[in-house]
Amino acid sequence: MNIRVWGAAAAILLGVAVFAGCSGTTSVTDNGRHQPVAARELYVANYRSDTVTVFDASLGGDVNALRKFGDMAGVRFPFGIAVDTVNDQIFVTNVFNNSIAVYGRTGNGNIAPSRIISGASTSLNGPAGIAVDTVNNQIFVTNINNTITVYGRTDSGNIAPSRIISGTTTSLDGPASIAVDTKNDQIFVANSNSNSVTVYGRTDSGNIAPSRIISGASTSLNGPAGIAVDTKNDQLFVSNNTGDSITVYGRTDSGNITPSRIISGTTTSLNGPAGIAVDTVNDEILVTNATGNAITVFGRTDSGNITPSRIISGTTTSLNLPADIAVDTVNNQIFVTNLIGNSITVYGRTDTGNIAPVRTISGAVPGMVYPAGIAVDAVNNQIFVTDFTSNSIAVFNRTDTGAVTPSRIISGASTSLYGPAGIAVDTVNNQIFVANLNGNSITVYGRTDAGNIAPSRIISGATTSLIHPAALALDTVNNEIIVTNQNGGSITVYKRTDTGNIAPSRIISGATTSLILPTGLAFDAMNNQLYVTDLNSDSIFVFNRTDYGDIAPVRTIAGANTGMHGSWGIAVDPVNNLIFVTNQDSNSITVYNRTDTGNVAPVRTIQGANTGISMPWGIAFW
């Protein structure tokens, strides 16, 4: 979908996978560096499920994790929300774990859903919009693969839809939101990619043509994200994410028709409007603003460049990329899904200003909203995880499991963390090194630092050649920091003690390197080589440690046989001569021999429902 709600998410998803270092478990050393020996564990940061999973590094297939910790509430990129006041329930679509979670309407905190619809049989695929029909006891869901799936209202588990609307004839194109009209037995869908609204019969199924389409330049549809139908006044309301507008149509309108009215302009405070709800009892329109982190409220008949009747906005509100909104006129409450916060926040219907939610449903363990980079400190038995969205570093004990609280967190404005991705821990000099993808910087902290602490030093500035630094590795023998620059298509190397706006000591970059979108990075001190995953070509490029300039890789692993799909993080086991790669598109870890080259098949693959792998980002070996 081309709406900014999805665009914001995509900017994160196109971040980075990172190898965060490799430490050993005994006193076996090589020039002062600990090397991995008998005890072998694989640590994976799962961006989609907000968890870290730990595996026996020698296993393959659909294996159970040895342990995992992180979010326990089933809220994973919540997008669509519907409130059922008849049965006192909330229905939420979770985009990235392909599920529908159902909660009690008054639920609060890190609660388990009363039931979940999830699994291969459900045909859920990036579920976005949701509507609940309490008259016919059905749930309607739009999926990013251009389908509408329908379920029984009380369905649960890995259940097949009662019917599916799918196929080229349907004209579904990036369906972002759905509304059901039980009075006239119709379904309305906002299609963000084609700037259209398609209408179907409520009982339609298969590859069926819409009964009518609203589409064309005159409609002023521009990235339609939210849709609401008002059967009382026979009107249709659409929030346009790209156009920063609300367009209103007659319920039976069709074709290239001009809206009956438009709310648009700087006075409206519309900023990336996403979800929309119409309150016909109190004659109001409520809109979430994904870019502005706000809820704006207008009169139902408002038009033009008008000031909202009230705005909910500010840090106290806990709004964080709000996606969808539902209004409960029976209990006078507003329900909002927050994409970034992995939460559902509830407000009083008439709330305004920087007000705290009445309650919040959220299971994110602090520091584990979007786990990205991961580093294992085997000397002190700790795990360090960067949280890309909350700009923090969370530290856990190496043997932690379940919904545990971090032993400490580095977080706050003073830390200068900004989109932290790659991380490495230096147990020789007791320091933490972080690559900040959004900040174009490397920040350094003491290994035991906590709280809102300033870095001991920062590498940042135009001279550094840092351009979206994604992954980071340390060479404590030669005292160097090695970084992949995702947008720069380069590897930059600095002295371990460098600070400020300093030039790299060397750069690997140019057409001959084949680097286009380097994501993961691993440094092999035993063999003096660098291993880089490139997302653009699903490749592994190997360079010598001292390489620089426009130089060809020593060897390349690439091709259909490799099983790489969205290759991100990489870790190297030089003792057992293995390479481990996380693949986000296939939710897998593929393992290769360290000296492999060409279009080779993996030695083994870790993949399947039992693994708990869900959009894996960072990977570390111990």
Judge whether 417 and 434 are in contact, CB under 8 Å: yes
**Predicted local confidence at residue 536, as pLDDT:** 86
Judge whether 552 and 512 are in contact, CB under 8 Å: yes
What gap in Å lies between CA 185 and CA 375, rounded to an integer? 54
Judge whether 527 and 574 are in contact, CB under 8 Å: yes
Helix, strand, coil shares of the chain, percent, nearest 5, are 5, 45, 45
Which among 546, 554, 618, 548 has a CA at the least distance from the CA of 589? 618
Q: Which residues of 162-180 are buried (b: 16+ CB within 10 A; e: fewer)?
A: eebbbeeebbbbbbbbbbb
**Predicted local confidence at residue 88, as pLDDT:** 87
Structure tokens at 411: 């977080």
Judge whether 607 and 622 are in contact, CB under 8 Å: no
What gap in Å lies between CA 89 and CA 571, rounded to an integer? 44
CA 524 from centroid of its chain's CA atoms = 30
SS3 (DSSP) at 464? helix
Beta bridge partner(s), residue 620: 43
Which among 131, 150, 132 has a CA at the least distance from the CA of 190? 131
SS3 (DSSP) at 173? coil
DSSP tag of 404: P
Residue 354 phi, psi dihedral angles, 5° rounding: -90, 70
How many Cβ atoms are within 10 Å of 251's Cβ, its own excluded?
Answer: 17
SS3 (DSSP) at 388? coil
Residues 6+ away with beta carbon under 8 Å from 10:
none
* DSSP H or E segment with residue 203: none
What gap in Å lies between CA 613 and CA 622, rounded to an integer? 18
Structure tokens at 421: 């991705």
Judge whether 128 and 177 are in contact, CB under 8 Å: yes
Structure tokens at 423: 């991380």
What gap in Å lies between CA 158 and CA 119, rounded to an integer? 5
Which among 97, 102, 83 has a CA at the least distance from the CA of 156? 102
Pairing of the two strands 616-621 and 19-22: parallel
Judge whether 419 and 388 are in contact, CB under 8 Å: yes
Residues 6+ away with beta carbon under 8 Å from 414:
452, 453, 454
Which among 541, 538, 478 has a CA at the least distance from the CA of 509? 541
Residues 6+ away with beta carbon under 8 Å from 19:
471, 473, 520, 521, 522, 531, 569, 570, 571, 572, 618, 619, 620, 621
Burial (Cβ within 10 Å: 0-12, 13-18, ≥19) of residue 562: buried
**Predicted local confidence at residue 21, as pLDDT:** 33
Give the type of residue at 132: V
Structure tokens at 410: 């580095």
Judge whether 467 and 490 are in contact, CB under 8 Å: yes
Task: Tell me the DSSP string of 566-617.
Answer: SEEEEEEETTTTEEEEEETTTTEEEEEETT--BSPPPSEEEESGGG---SEE
* DSSP H or E segment with residue 278: strand 273-279
CA 34 from centroid of its chain's CA atoms = 34
For the full predicted model, state whether its pTM sits above 0.85. no
Structure tokens at 572: 């190297």
Low-confidence ranges of the chain (pLDDT < 70): 1-55, 57-60, 62-63, 67-77, 96-97, 108-111, 323-324, 326, 335, 337-344, 361-370, 389, 401-404, 612, 614-615, 621-622
SS3 (DSSP) at 560? helix
How many Cβ atoms are within 10 Å of 158's Cβ, its own excluded?
Answer: 12
**Predicted local confidence at residue 340, as pLDDT:** 55
Judge whether 349 and 329 are in contact, CB under 8 Å: yes
Largest CA distance in the chain: 78
Task: Tell me the DSSP string of 104-133.
Answer: ETT--BSPPPSEEEESGGG--SSEEEEEEE
**Predicted local confidence at residue 574, as pLDDT:** 87
DSSP tag of 154: T
Structure tokens at 313: 């906005």
Residues 6+ away with beta carbon under 8 Å from 113:
73, 74, 101, 102, 103
**Predicted local confidence at residue 486, as pLDDT:** 87
Q: Which residues of 205-235 are buried (b: 16+ CB within 10 A; e: fewer)?
A: eeeeebeebbbeeebbbbbbbbbbbbeeeeb
**Predicted local confidence at residue 121, as pLDDT:** 92
What gap in Å lies between CA 374 and CA 41, rounded to an integer? 13
Q: Is the dihedral of CA 53, 55, 60, 64 positive or negative?
A: negative
**Three-state SS sequence of 250-262:** ECCCCECCCCCEE
